[in-house]
Amino acid sequence: MRTDFGPVLVDGMSWRYGQGWYEWDGEDTRLRYVDITEVRMNSDTQPNWHLVLAHAPPMATEIDPSETVISYGLTFDRDGDGVADYVVGISNEAPVAGEFRVWVSDLVTGEGQEQVGGPYGYPVEFHHPDEGSVIDPGLPSMVFTFLLGSRPEGIDHKTRFYAWASLTVDGEVRAWDYAPHIGWLSSSRPNQ
């Protein structure tokens, strides 16, 4: 068993042994705060997913949410069939500038939970780029995790997923990014 936690390349992915891993993602949108440059998953006991961005987005307090919506999220395939089962997301689409809308949607049942404005933590806990980086001051990131008892059944550190980001202006999607570009990420089966 490898214990040095150094990265190795597996199927185009930088893979880390131990409690976490990351994938590099090249520049694929000119709008840098929508460009996901890296995806990280840490911890098997309290999974958290990091979307590292090429640049921090404008502060949510400076954006009119009725005109401009910036969203970040994760899409999970909990049963491994290649079809999305859950979507977790955050956007500035709230009645008050500076607040967030967070949601978890079960795509199988059509049910979902959301929180618009604080207090946050349920249905999903997050760390938004507005709050600074939890990784490194030079790496703006969006982090998702679930508080005790709030994680949907079948979602854990081995569940396949992909990350996404988008910018919508006046109801029209103007920029988006996905990581990986094709397939799913998983700590048990990389890049499938």
- Average pLDDT value over all residues in the chain: 82
Distance separating alpha carbons of residues 167 and 61, to the nearest angstrom: 16
Q: Are 48 and 147 contacting, i.e. CB atoms less than 8 angstroms apart?
A: no
Distance separating alpha carbons of residues 99 and 128, to the nearest angstrom: 11
The number of folded domains in the chain is 1
Is 2 domain-assigned?
A: no
Is 86 domain-assigned?
A: yes
Structure tokens at 5: 């936690």
Lowest mean pLDDT among 26-30, 84-88, 172-176: 26-30
Work out the end-to-end distance of the chain between its first and last CA atoms, rounded to an integer number of angstroms.
23
Instruction: Provide the pLDDT confidence category of residue 184 given band limits of 50, 70 and 90.
Output: confident
Residue 3 clears pLDDT 80, i.e. is over it: no
Q: Which residues of 165-185 are buried (b: 16+ CB within 10 A; e: fewer)?
A: bbbbeeeeeebbbebbeebbb
Q: What is the pLDDT of residues 87-115, one digit of tens each?
A: 999 999 999 999 999 999 999 999 999 99
Residue 64 clears pLDDT 90, i.e. is over it: yes
Q: Give percent of the chain with pLDDT exceeding 90.
A: 57
Instruction: Provide the pLDDT confidence category of residue 25 given band limits of 50, 70 and 90.
Output: low
Q: Are 44 and 157 contacting, i.e. CB atoms less than 8 angstroms apart?
A: yes
Is 187 domain-assigned?
A: no
Domain membership of residue 159 as a residue range: 7-179
Is 188 domain-assigned?
A: no
Which residues, 6 or more positions from 35, have their beta carbon under 8 angstroms from its beta carbon? 27, 28, 29, 53, 54, 55, 165, 177
Q: Edge to edge, what strands does the sheet with 86-91 contain? A: 112-116, 101-106, 86-91, 68-77, 160-169, 172-179
Is 184 domain-assigned?
A: no
Residue 45 or 109, more confident: 109
Residue 97 or 16, more confident: 97
Is 1 domain-assigned?
A: no
Is 174 domain-assigned?
A: yes
38 - beta bridge partners?
24, 52
**pLDDT at residue 30 in the model:** 77
Residue 142 clears pLDDT 60, i.e. is over it: yes
Structure tokens at 146: 């679930």
Structure tokens at 26: 């090249």
DSSP string covering 118-142: SSP-SS-EEE-GGG--SSBTTB-EE
**pLDDT at residue 13 in the model:** 42
Average pLDDT over residues 19-44: 72
**pLDDT at residue 31 in the model:** 85
Is 115 domain-assigned?
A: yes
Average pLDDT over residues 69-75: 97
Q: What is the pLDDT of residues 160-182, one digit of tens each?
A: 999 999 999 999 999 999 988 77
Q: Is 60 helix (H, G, I), strand (E, B) or coil?
A: helix
Q: Which of 46, 57, 50, 58 shows the shortest CA–CA distance to 25?
A: 50
